[in-house]
Structure 1
Amino acid sequence: MAQKDFVPYGSDVSAGSYECVDCGRGYSNQSKTSMPPCPNLDRLPHTLMGWRILTGQGDAVGDPYPE
C-alpha cells in the first residue's frame, strides 16, 4: 500500500511534521488520536481541510479514514 501524503482533520497520525494543505501553516506533533483543524481555519478559506505529511509515517495503523 502506498503511503498517503494528505490526511484530513480528525485522522489518527504518527509523530512527524505536517503542513496545512490550504494555507501552508506548519504543525509538528507526537502521535495523535485526532489531528486538530488548522489554527488559521477561522481566518482563511480552507476547502481541503487537511494536513500534508512532510516527515513521519502519516496515518496511524488505526486510522479512522483508511484509503
Structure 2
Amino acid sequence: MQKDHVPYGSDISAGRYACADCGHEYSAPSRTSMPPCPYYQPSTHSLNGWKVLSGQGDAVEDPYPNNANK
C-alpha cells in the first residue's frame, strides 16, 4: 500500500515528492534516507515529511524510519 506522506529519514522508492509543509518539489532515485526539505524551518515545517506525487513512496522494507537498527 502506498502512503501519501513520507517522513524525513525514510527509505524511499524512486519518484517525485513535495514537501508536506511548503510544497517544494523533489525528484529522487531510490535511497536509504529521505532528506529534510531544503527550506526546513522548525517554525513553519511541522509535518516533517514529503507527499508522494509519483512512485511508490516509503519503501516496503522500511516500515519504521526512526528505528536505530538500520
* TM-score normalised per structure 2: 0.83
**Structure 1 unmatched ranges of 5 or more:** none
Question: Which residue number in structure 2 is paired with residue 56 of structure 1?
Answer: 55
Q: Which residue of 1 aligns with 2:68?
A: none
Could you tell me how far 1:64 is from its partner in structure 2?
Answer: 4.4
> 1:33, 1:13 → 2: CA distance?
7
Query: Where in structure 2 are there 5+ consecutive unaligned residues?
Result: 66-70
| Runs of 4 or more consecutive aligned structure 1 residues displaced over 4 Å after TM superposition | none
Identity among equivalent pairs (%): 65
Give the paired residue count: 65
Please tell me the root mean square deviation across aligned C-alpha atoms, in Å. Answer: 1.8
Cross-structure match for 1:16: 15
Match of 2:40 in 1: 41
Give the TM-score taking structure 1 as reference length: 0.87
